């Protein structure tokens, strides 16, 4: 654990990518393989199923530190991270012998699963007493998941590649599924990541192994500039951008595996897709999108979401939210890796392969030049699409979000927007702790008659009077925490502190004074929200300093968007 703690400190003490890779390489060089296996797992985003409830940890820590629950909460608000709060309030322990990371996991943490709360609490208390603040912090992170230290999976792959003297893309492929919650990391699996390249025995001994996903870059230049930047439209393969779940279907050795972009094995979730895959020949890997599908068209993401939330797939669930898999790329054919072949060739092979099978193909979009394509893109929303995908016909299928081997652009439609009023605020987490960065926004229940009517509402809020049931009032409809610069957040934070009306735990209500332009990708009627509306991916586009509160939008404006969008 001490070695891993030192690695954590080294990673945490720098923002320089190279210094982080150096620290990782140093660690891999000296750590035993079973420890390194777990370190890779955590740093690459692996989360073991939580063995202890967060609330139990918080309660036990407060008791052990002799703090009243309210005082512990105050500490948590100031720190913004539960593990760090616990680490800081507990008295220092007497350092005892040093156990390796793997030993910690296998002998101590994993056996906690399924034990009763008291036993777990007793174990935690005893271990806390063995560790210093940094050790406690790491232990709680290991127990609770959410291990974020500014190291991306890509960085871990780079370091492993340098340590092993092999190509980072190969490490990336070997690492697919490494962090899947269903299998614990072992020294063997770690050694398979860094094994020397043996041409006679290619990688993928594990039959279900997928390929790293190739990710698209956002395109945000005016269509007039496309020819200059991208060349003629003819160089590009154009498809719709779907609002579903990116997935790979792997068909090998008479079996089928479905992997989500989060590298989670989701085969069991989508029996319809498994059925489709039966039609594929051996040694095939498809890249595509899982979509809820109704009436021969993609259904809103919300429907797919309902389906994902279900633990057991009853006949009713399958009937209410049927899914399909739309194929758009062919990564492996007859057991051969096609990723270095040009996009155009892969597409032709894909079309030929799927011809006569029930597996649907993502259609190509054609247009007379970029400006015409821009007009086609305008119809995205009514078709239930997020925009268009542009893929260079002569490019290979790359790894991750790189531009080295090929190029995919996602050309999304402009978000829907609404002008709304900030009514509640909550402090963020991590580096945003103690800064109010998470906001709740409201619209008017009806357009205000005049500024005086708005002023009366503000006065009532400041005086903490409830609104008249049939009078003008603000109705909360969305929360957002992204889209502003750090400087803007600081500015809004100052306004919130000055205009706080009430505090409810970590949440402050404010006397409304700021109008924001909020952008979102989709909108749905929802009986679970007071406003009757749920928006998808809301984020702040800008602060509308030019707009008085009376000119913020009303519920009717939101409902009008409901009619127009998918």
Partner 1 sequence: MSDLVVQRPEGLYCPAGDFYIDPWRPVDRAVITHAHADHARPGHGHYLAAAAGEGVLRARLGEIRLQALAYGERITHHGVTVSLHPAGHVLGSAQVRLEHEGRVWVASGDYKVAPDRTCAPFEPVRCDVFITESTFGLPIYRWRPDSELYAEINAWWAANAEAGRASVIPCYSFGKAQRLLAGLDARIGPIVVHGAVEPLNEAYRAAGVDLPATVAAPALSDQTAISRCLVLCPPSAAASPWLRRFGDSATAFASGWMQVRGQRRRGGWDRGFVVSDHADWPGLHAAIDATGATRVIVTHGSVPVMVRTLQERGLQAGAFQTEYGDDALDVPAVAEPPA
Name the residues that contact partner 1, by CB under 8 A.
Answer: 12-16, 65, 67-68, 70-71, 74-75, 78-81, 84-85, 88-89, 429-435, 486
Choice between 36 and 75, CB closer to partner 1: 75
Residue with tokens 């945003």: 432
Least spacing, CB of residue 66 vs partner 1, in Å = 9
Minimum CB separation of residue 379 from partner 1 in Å reads: 34
Shortest separation between residue 494's beta carbon and partner 1, angstroms: 11
Joined together, the tokens standing for residue 88 give 């800081």
How far apart CA 544 and CA 517 sit, in angstroms, is 6
Closer Cβ to partner 1, 68 or 279, answer by number: 68
Smallest distance from partner 1 to CB 254, Å: 45
Residues 510/428, Cβ–Cβ less than 8 Å: no
Distance CA 467, CA 474 (A): 9
Check the CA dihedral 553-559-563-566 and report its sign.
positive
Provide the minimum distance between the beta carbon of 333 and partner 1 in the complex, in angstroms, as a whole number.
37
Taking the C-alpha atoms of residue 143 and residue 227, their distance in angstroms, rounded to an integer, is: 52
- Number of CB atoms found within 10 A of residue 393's CB: 14
The least CB distance from residue 426 to partner 1, in Å, is 15
Local structure of residue 223 (DSSP, 8 states)? G
- The least distance separating partner 1 from the CB of residue 516, rounded to whole angstroms, comes to 22
Considering beta carbons, is residue 503 or 530 the nearer one to partner 1? 503
Task: Tell me how far, at minimum, the Cβ of 80 lies from partner 1, in Å.
Answer: 5
Q: Between residues 22 and 557, which has the closer beta carbon with respect to partner 1?
A: 22
> How is residue 224 written in tokens?
């007039």
CB 60 within 8 A of CB 195: no
Q: Which of 77, 72, 84 is nearest to 137 (CA)?
A: 84
Q: Which is nearer to partner 1, 435 or 475 (CB)?
A: 435
Longest dimension (CA), the chain: 81
Minimum CB distance to partner 1, residue 133 (Å): 9
- Residue from 555, 519, 521, 513 nearest 539 by CA: 519
Cβ neighbourhood burial of 248 (10 Å; 0-12, 13-18, 19+): buried
> What span, in angstroms and rounded, lies between the C-alpha atoms of 469 and 484?
34
Q: How far is the CB of 92 from partner 1 (least distance, A)?
A: 9
Return the number of the residue (22 or 337) whose C-beta is nearest partner 1. Answer: 22
Interatomic CA distance for residues 39 and 24, integer angstroms: 10
128 close to 93: Cβ distance less than 8 angstroms: yes
Element (H, E) at 305: helix 301-309
Least CB distance to partner 1 at residue 128 (A): 15
Cβ nearer to partner 1, comparing 67 with 313: 67
Distance of CA 387 to the CA centre of its chain: 20
Nearer to partner 1, 435 or 478 (CB): 435
Say how far apart CA 84 and CA 434 lie, in whole Å.
14
Q: ∠ CA 283-286-290 to the nearest 5 degrees?
A: 140
CB atoms within 10 A of CB 435: 18
Per-residue CA distances from 326 to 224, 290, 349 (Å): 31, 6, 16
Nearer to partner 1, 81 or 239 (CB): 81
With respect to partner 1, which residue has the nearer C-beta, 114 or 218? Answer: 218
The smaller minimum CB distance to partner 1, of residues 129 and 349, is found at 129
> Minimum CB separation from partner 1 for residue 179, in Å?
22
Selection from 379, 402, 395, 418 nearest residue 540 by Cα: 418
Nearer to partner 1, 65 or 266 (CB): 65
The residue to which tokens 């989060």 are assigned: 262
Q: Which is nearer to partner 1, 253 or 434 (CB)?
A: 434
- Could you tell me the two tokens for 356? 């006569």
End-to-end CA distance of the chain: 51
The DSSP secondary structure of 356-372, one letter per residue, reads TSS--BPPB---SHHHH
CB of 490 to partner 1, least distance (A): 9
């Amino acid at each position: 654990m001490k070695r891993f703690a030192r690695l954590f400190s080294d990673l945490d003490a720098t923002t320089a990518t190279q210094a982080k890779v150096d620290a990782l390489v140093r660690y891999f060089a000296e750590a035993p393989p079973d420890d390194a296996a777990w370190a890779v797992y955590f740093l690459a985003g692996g989360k073991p199923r939580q063995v202890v409830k967060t609330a139990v940890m918080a309660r036990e820590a407060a008791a052990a530190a002799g703090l009243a629950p309210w005082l512990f909460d105050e500490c948590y608000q100031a720190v913004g991270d539960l593990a760090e709060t616990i680490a800081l309030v507990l008295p220092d322990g007497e350092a005892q012998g040093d156990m390796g990371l793997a030993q910690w996991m296998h002998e101590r943490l994993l056996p906690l699963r399924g034990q009763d709360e008291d036993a777990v609490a007793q174990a935690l208390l005893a271990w806390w007493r063995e560790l210093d603040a940094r050790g406690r912090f790491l232990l709680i992170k290991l127990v609770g998941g959410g291990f974020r230290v500014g190291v991306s999976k890509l960085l871990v792959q780079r370091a492993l590649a340098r340590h092993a003297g092999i190509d980072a893309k190969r490490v990336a492929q070997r690492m697919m599924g490494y962090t899947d919650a269903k299998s614990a990391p072992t020294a063997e699996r770690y050694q398979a990541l860094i094994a020397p390249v043996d041409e006679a025995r290619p990688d993928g001994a594990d039959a279900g192994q997928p390929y790293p996903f190739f990710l698209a870059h956002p395109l945000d230049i005016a269509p007039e500039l496309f020819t200059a930047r991208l060349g003629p439209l003819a160089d590009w393969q154009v498809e719709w951008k779907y609002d579903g779940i990116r997935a790979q279907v792997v068909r090998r050795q008479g079996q089928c595996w479905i992997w989500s972009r989060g590298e989670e094995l989701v085969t069991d979730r989508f029996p319809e897709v498994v059925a489709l895959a039966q039609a594929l020949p051996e040694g095939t890997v498809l890249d595509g999108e899982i979509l809820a599908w109704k009436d021969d068209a993609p259904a809103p993401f919300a429907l797919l979401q309902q389906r994902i939330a279900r633990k057991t797939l009853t006949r009713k669930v399958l009937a209410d939210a049927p899914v399909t898999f739309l194929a758009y790329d062919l990564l492996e054919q007859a057991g051969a890796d096609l990723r270095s072949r040009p996009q155009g060739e892969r597409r032709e092979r894909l079309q030929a392969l799927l011809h006569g099978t029930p597996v649907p193909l993502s259609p190509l979009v054609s247009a007379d030049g970029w400006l015409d394509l821009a007009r086609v893109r305008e119809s995205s929303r009514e078709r239930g699409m997020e925009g268009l995908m542009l893929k260079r016909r002569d490019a290979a299928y790359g790894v991750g979000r790189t531009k080295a081997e090929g190029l995919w652009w996602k050309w999304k439609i402009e978000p829907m927007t609404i002008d709304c009023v900030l009514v509640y605020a909550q402090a963020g987490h991590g580096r945003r702790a103690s800064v109010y960065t998470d906001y709740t926004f409201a619209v008017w229940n009806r357009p205000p008659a005049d500024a005086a009517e708005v002023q009366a509402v503000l006065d009532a809020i400041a005086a903490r009077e409830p609104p008249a049931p049939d009078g003008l009032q603000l109705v909360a409809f969305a929360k957002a925490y992204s889209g502003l610069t750090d400087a803007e957040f600081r500015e809004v934070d100052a306004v919130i502190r000055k205009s706080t009306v009430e505090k409810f735990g970590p949440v402050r209500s404010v006397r409304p004074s700021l109008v924001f332009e909020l952008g979102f990708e989709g909108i749905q009627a929802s009986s679970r929200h007071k406003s009757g509306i749920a928006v998808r991916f809301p984020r702040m586009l800008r602060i509308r300093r030019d707009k008085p509160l009376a000119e913020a939008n009303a519920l009717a404006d939101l409902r009008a968007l409901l009619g127009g969008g998918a």
